[in-house]
Amino acid sequence: METDTITAISTPIGEGAISIVRLSGSEAISIVAGLFQGKDLEQVDSHTINYGKIMDPETKEVAEEVMVSVMRAPKTFTRENIVEINCHGGMVAVNRVLEILLSQGARLAEPGEFTKRAFLNGRIDLSQAEAVMDLIRAKTDKAMNVALKQMDGRLSSLIQRLRQTLLETVAHVEVNIDYPEYDDVEEMSHEMMREKTKEVASEIDDLLRVAQQGKILREGLATAIIGRPNVGKSSLMNTLVQENKAIVTEIPGTTRDIIEEYVNVRGVPLRLVDTAGIRETEDIVEKIGVERSRQVLKESDLILFVLNYNDALSEDDRKLFEAIEGLEYIVIINKMDLEQKLDMDEVKALAGDRPIVSTSFTEEKGIDDLETAIAKTFFAGDIDTGDMTYVSNVRHIQLLKQAKQALEDAMNSLEMEMPLDIVQIDVTRTWEFLGEIIGDTASDSLIDQLFSQFCLGK
């Protein structure tokens, strides 16, 4: 259990209306009270905000005019005493207050240490702590809703219920083994064990079934825009982003580097990558861009392949179809406002069952159809963040897969009529994997690593 008092700036660095310095620990209130000119902070009611001034203990002069929030344990985020000092926005004022607090015995918090204390003090479990960072990083409303539900403990409650089922099953086996003379205890049979393991396995399958969707909502889709030079790739990006991020000219090969931008498409965050046109070239700079574009293709979740309605299909286009074979892509036929020279039958034959969308970016036509195609490709056209429990964290997904494998091992042992005390080894492993999700069986090194990824002051 932590005993020292930590402090950090909790608002983004830079100019703003206010900046906040947060303290947490047993001495948080007394440290600030010794510097505060105003009400006696050690006597004020909990969860109140108080006007006054922070005095510099060395110069005895006013360091900053502030509003101070006092929150007493245990009804705080960390379950420790918390003080938040609202300063004027800007670097000088907030840093001056932070330096004074450090001089009075507070320690600078490590990244994520406030949330880590909330976890260590039992305020939240590990999955809820990770949801705090997901909430901060959310790029769409739906991603935020998933994070909020995880913070509320929806995933935690489900995991705890599954672990309880497994625990009761293992305990039942242990009682049968250790106390066979107890007639009032129902004997755990292979059929009963099979029923319980199937029940838990089914719920894990449900979580994993929508895990990819949750991961997309959390991290976004890595989306590459490809096509021959001057087919409208940069125009597509600008249309989706709704501002000019890429240079649009009539000169082929203008995009010589990779441009990235996040956009929100029907609640799905897309990390758009506008690549250099893939073609044979002698231009050294453009050649580097083309090679990087090929690498981007391999790392993409979705590819938007742009063709020109006003151009016949070229050999470069056919090579691009070969390059993305087996990958997830949508074909976009651009410049539909111009005369048709593209053989649509050949395009359909090459695309197979992949979606084909007709657009005219200059006239802003077809964008809705494109957004619908993207949503259908990954979410069957519907994203439900209401009652559904999403698993969005890669660590959680991996642990669920390991738990499922352990259960499958247990069920295989049951089919082979292995003794129940052997079967329960795999059931116990499942219980431990699920425990790592919420932090019950997580190692100290894992916990330290997870919280080190948080921003300072959170």
Q: Give the model confidence (pLDDT) of 425-454 as tens digits.
A: 999 999 999 999 888 876 676 667 666 766
Strand order of the β-sheet with 356-358 is 259-265, 268-274, 221-226, 302-308, 329-334, 356-358
pLDDT tens digit sequence for 52-101: 999 999 999 999 999 999 999 999 999 999 999 999 988 888 999 999 99
Residues 358 and 258 both lie in one domain: yes
The reported pLDDT for the residue numbered 258 is 43
> Of 333, 355, 379, which residue sits at a domain end?
379
Residues 232 and 369 both lie in one domain: yes
Q: How confident is the model at residue 286 (pLDDT cuts 50, 70, 90)?
A: very low
Residues 432 and 329 both lie in one domain: no
Range among 40-49, 233-242, 327-336 rated most confident: 40-49
Residues 203 and 68 both lie in one domain: no
> Of 379, 402, 421, which residue sits at a domain end?
379
**21 or 298, which is more confident:** 21
Q: Domain range holding 318?
A: 222-379
Residues 6+ apart with CB under 8 A from 122: 79
Q: How confident is the model at residue 245 (pLDDT cuts 50, 70, 90)?
A: very low
Give the count of domains, the chain. Answer: 3
Range among 25-29, 88-92, 178-182, 191-195 rated most confident: 25-29
Residue 76 buriedness (CB in 10 A; 0-12 / 13-18 / 19+)? buried
Residue 400 pLDDT > 60: yes
Residues 259 and 324 both lie in one domain: yes
The reported pLDDT for the residue numbered 289 is 46
3-state SS track over the chain: CCCCCEEEECCCCCCCCEEEEEEECCCHHHHHHCCEEECCCCCCCCCEEEEEEEECCCCCCEEEEEEEEEECCCCCCCCCCEEEEEEECCHHHHHHHHHHHHHCCCEECCCCHHHHHHHHCCCCCHHHHHHHHHHHHCCCHHHHHHHHHHHCCHHHHHHHHHHHHHHHHHHHHHHHHHCCCCCCCCCCCHHHHHHHHHHHHHHHHHHHHCHHHHHHHHHCEEEEEECCCCCCHHHHHHHHHCCCCCCCCCCCCCCCCCEEEEEEECCEEEEEEECCCCCCCCCHHHHHHHHHHHHHHHHCCEEEEEEECCCCCCHHHHHHHHHCCCCCEEEEEECCCCCCCCCHHHHHHHHCCCCEEECECCCCECHHHHHHHHHHHHHCCCCCCCCCCCCCCHHHHHHHHHHHHHHHHHHHHHHCCCCHHHHHHHHHHHHHHHHHHHCCCCCHHHHHHHHCCCCCCC
The reported pLDDT for the residue numbered 220 is 75
d(CA 278, CA 257): 12
196 within a domain of the structure (yes/no):
yes
Range among 12-16, 131-135, 359-363 rated most confident: 359-363
Mean pLDDT, residues 234-241 taken together: 79
336 within a domain of the structure (yes/no):
yes
Q: Which CATH number does the domain housing residue 87 bear?
A: 3.30.1360.120
Q: Which amino acid is at 390?
A: Y
* Both tokens assigned to 62: 């006013």
Q: How confident is the model at residue 48 (pLDDT cuts 50, 70, 90)?
A: very high
115 within a domain of the structure (yes/no):
no
| Model-wide pTM > 0.85 | no
Q: What is the mean pLDDT of the chain?
A: 81
